[in-house]
């Protein structure tokens, strides 16, 4: 199965990279852009027996490694392949 995980900074956590991108967009002449946040988009394959098992494993991966849950949130999708 294919996994797509989205790791984002929690609301209220400062995002200097997002701010830098926002300033760069404005200097390039793109107007009306605000609230830029930069997160991670992690994709991989996982070999498991069922979608439920995949969900369980990926939940644990996010908790233990992929996200820093103090400052980051995560969401993921499992795609049957």
Interaction site with a second copy (CB under 8 A): 6-8, 18, 21-22, 24-25, 28, 30-48, 57, 60-61, 64-66
Between 21 and 55, whose beta carbon lies closer to a second copy?
21
Q: Considering the complex, what minimum distance in angstroms separates the CB of residue 19 from a second copy?
A: 11
* Residue 70 beta carbon to a second copy: minimum distance, rounded to whole angstroms: 18
Task: Give the span between the Cα atoms of 13 and 45, in whole angstroms.
Answer: 30
- Min separation Cβ 45 and a second copy, Å: 5
CA–CA separation, 51 and 71 (whole Å): 28
CA dist., res. 75 & res. 5, Å (int): 6
Q: Which residue, 37 or 55, has its beta carbon nearer to a second copy?
A: 37
Phi-psi region of 35 (alpha: psi -120 to 50; beta: other; left: phi over 0): left
């Amino acid at each position: 199965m294919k996994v797509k995980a989205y790791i984002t900074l929690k609301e209220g956590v400062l995002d200097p990279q997002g701010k830098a991108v926002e300033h760069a967009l404005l200097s390039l002449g793109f107007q009306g852009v605000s609230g830029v946040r930069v997160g991670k988009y992690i994709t991989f394959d996982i070999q498991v027996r069922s979608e439920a098992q995949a969900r369980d494993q990926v939940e644990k991966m996010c908790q233990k490694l992929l996200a820093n849950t103090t400052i980051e949130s995560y969401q993921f999708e499992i795609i049957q392949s």
